[in-house]
Amino acid sequence: MGQLTEQAITQQMQMNSSPFALNGKTISSGMKDEYFNQQGLKMKRTYSVGQDGTIQTTSTIDMTPQETKQMIIDQVEKLMPAQADMIKQNIDAVISSGMMKFNMDIKDVYTMQADGWMKSITSEAISDTMGQKTTVKSTVRLKQ
């Protein structure tokens, strides 16, 4: 996020599983958009509108091998600048070995009230990063 500004906060809230993610959008089934998540991964999101007042989104990583390579180099340069040259020299071999594998699948279900206000959001994110699998589930409910 870089700086703590109103624009940065609003932008981040619109990209993630929050009530603001749908703000200002006209949603239809099959609609797609792209965004960068908090970790800097380029994601593709697909929308599905249910007849029961729900909107479901599914998101997956949408990065080319070159974008993945550049993201890794950028992170190493930021976190471990002394090792950046070594990583740059060996990154192709490391990526081709499968050690730098990134997968992320996110499923969000937005339940709407009859008046159009958000009732709840359930989210499940499953990531597999360099062999480490993580699952995060959350539910947000509008306080009545």
- For 49, residues 6+ apart whose C-beta sits below 8 A from its C-beta are 27, 28, 29, 55
pLDDT at 89: 87
**Residue 134: per-residue pLDDT:** 92
DSSP codes of every residue in 27-82: --TT-EEEEE-TTS-EEEEEEEE-TTSEEEEEEEE---HHHHHHHHHHHHHHH-GG
SS3 21: helix
Which of 105 and 88 is assigned the larger pLDDT?
A: 105
pLDDT of residue 1: 42
5-15 tens-digit pLDDT: 766 666 665 56
Question: Across residues 82-88, what is the average pLDDT?
Answer: 86
- For 20-36, the pLDDT digits (tens) are 677 778 889 999 999 88
Longest dimension (CA), the chain: 57
Query: Could you give the angle at which helices 84-96 and 65-79 cross, rounded to 10 degrees?
Result: 150
CA dihedral 14→18→19→21, nearest 10 degrees, is 30
